[in-house]
Structure 1
């Protein structure tokens, strides 16, 4: 699944109701086309697909002078469940692929939609996986050429170790910041980022 799915659900949820142009404008304002590889056309496709899956429902359809009608959507109960499942999955599961980094970025945007203790639990789970990946990558640096790889291939293993180490440092810092009470989370007083309007 793509980061676009979580981002679209999250923006619609955040606004209560939103039409495609509004979702697109919000995500482009966040530069999600760069850090989550969200293409403008994929936003409209995601809205239609999730409507057919009954994750979104039509709230209103307004005539728009000089252009197509604007259909505003809202999350269904199943849409709220899907939003939560994707958010939790993308925070907890380490995935070194490009899609994995896009999904993590999308999940971090909506991190405050979770209660603090839940977010911490998911991030600590991810940290355990990342630490294991780093140990595996370090083993390749230390022993890779003994398996018959050309010597210069070790540079790829160094890149992998350093990339994973950077994520590990960032995760440890984020966990510390959340444990210290940083950021308004779903169970804190006041409205957290991405919360549906009252």
Structure 2
């Protein structure tokens, strides 16, 4: 969340609502773990740390935030770290897979078919989002991020389809 907030503020100062709108325009809720309600907390915390400064005050101490030189340095550090660090994707589905042997065959098949349906809809929806962003002039790098998300969903769908056949053939679990 820190790199997103700092990155959004690189070009222009804005208030919390503006930060949220910019993240929504990037469809960050699709590819990043965003809790929009925590934006104001993050802004306040980063202002306390000297990464941001309030350039216009408002009621309750909320206002328009600008990134400081320290904030730019922190953004750059976090950005490079994210590019160079390969971390495991944490997915609750993989936890569930660990215990697939605890389900009855029909329960497992029902779950897999349900997941398959959801994944197909998600892949299709991501295709529409990519097209929509493209037609509304989103930058190519935002489109690529959405394409990566779609490819990851498609990879899981491909696995689920193969797993269904293996469960039906009593090869799995």
Q: As a proportion of its length, which structure holds more helix?
A: 2
TM-score (norm 2): 0.50
- Name the TM-score, length of structure 1 as normaliser: 0.44
Quick one: higher RCO (CA 8 Å, sep 6+), 1 or 2? 1
